Amino acid sequence: MMKILIKQCRAELLRVIRNPYYVFWSLLMPIMFYFIFTRVVNTGGENQAEWAAHYLMSMTTFSVMGSAIMTLGIRLVQERTQGWTTFMRVTPLPGPVYFFGKMFGQTVMHLISIVFIFLAGVLINGVSLPALTWVYSVLWILAGSLPFLAIGTLVGTMKRVDTASGVSNAIYLALAVTGGMWMPIEIMPKLMQHIGKWLPSYNFGNGAWEIIRGHAPDWSNILILLGYLILFMILSTYIRKKQEVV
């Protein structure tokens, strides 16, 4: 059992590493945005160093959220439409192991994105944080990506790759904007702020924003993300069960 799990994770890892395309796209936009909004456009904040670190976290969470929702979702749809998932169901491979392998591959991909974007922050703005803060940020972003992976599995239940890619893109960008990842939520109208604070994207980002200011993420951030994780997991499981019956 352990042997199968390791093999499965290794296979998924190889697939991620050999597909630099996905990693590249998850890095390109965040790093470009980062450069523009910390170097080109003067955002006029009083504390430039804090803004550089804050926006670095915004862009890293933005990137990871994107691959969790889009890459995972679209890949799941691809594997199903091409019949691979069906083949796997005929083999003795337990479903949870297959699922875990996928999550593992995805997490490694997130880790690669995080490292590259953090590196970009250091190179572009000389962002300097205590070592432990870096570590906490990485851990928070990896753990906080779980509800978005659950959204990814939800996207993965769609019938066609085109639909999945369109829908996931829309969800992704809407979440990013309303959650204050592109621009701080404080500059938005009051109503949007109230809504935004309940969204998973804001809570994901805010955890990281708190960490770089030397605080722990708010309990509300953790609880809200946990709530979304459970909700999306239940939804996704329910839809899958329903699809299997037909």
Partner 1 sequence: MEGIIEMNQVSKTFKDKKAVNNLSFCIEKGSIVAILGPNGAGKTTALSMMLGLLDPTEGDIKIFGKHPKDQAVREKTGAMLQEVSIMDRLKVKEVLDLIRSYYPQPMDMNVLIRLTGLAESDLKRFAEKLSGGQKRNLGYALAMAGNPDLLFFDEPTVGLDITARRRFWESVRELAGQGKTILFTTHYLQEADDAADRILLFHRGSLVADGTPEEIKSRIVKRSVSFLARQEGPRLREILKTLPVLSDFYDKEGRIYVNTENTDLVLETIFAEKLEVRDIRIDQGRLDEAFEQLTISQEEAV
- List residues near partner 1 by CB under 8 A: 3-4, 7-8, 11, 14-15, 18-19, 79, 82-84, 86-87, 89-94, 245-246
Cα–Cα distance, 64 to 107 (Å, whole number):
9
Instruction: Between 30 and 152, name the residue whose CB sits nearer to partner 1.
Output: 152
**E strands, the chain, where?**
none
3-state helix, strand, coil in the chain (%, to 5): 80, 0, 20
CB-side neighbour CA atoms (13 Å) of 175? 28
Contact 78, 155 (CB under 8 A): no
- Copy the structure tokens of residue 78: 């691809």
CB of 148 to partner 1, least distance (A): 23
Which amino acid is it at 100? Answer: F
Instruction: Between 40 and 246, name the residue whose CB sits nearer to partner 1.
Output: 246
CB of 235 to partner 1, least distance (A): 22
CB of 27 to partner 1, least distance (A): 19
Instruction: Between 83 and 189, name the residue whose CB sits nearer to partner 1.
Output: 83
Instruction: Between 87 and 220, name the residue whose CB sits nearer to partner 1.
Output: 87
CB of 55 to partner 1, least distance (A): 33
Instruction: Between 16 and 229, name the residue whose CB sits nearer to partner 1.
Output: 16
CB of 12 to partner 1, least distance (A): 9
Output the DSSP codes for 69-86.
IIIHHHHHHHHHHTTHHH
Cα–Cα distance, 210 to 208 (Å, whole number):
5
Instruction: Between 81 and 193, name the residue whose CB sits nearer to partner 1.
Output: 81
CB of 11 to partner 1, least distance (A): 5
CB of 174 to partner 1, least distance (A): 29
**E strands, 95-135, where?**
none
Instruction: Between 48 and 82, name the residue whose CB sits nearer to partner 1.
Output: 82
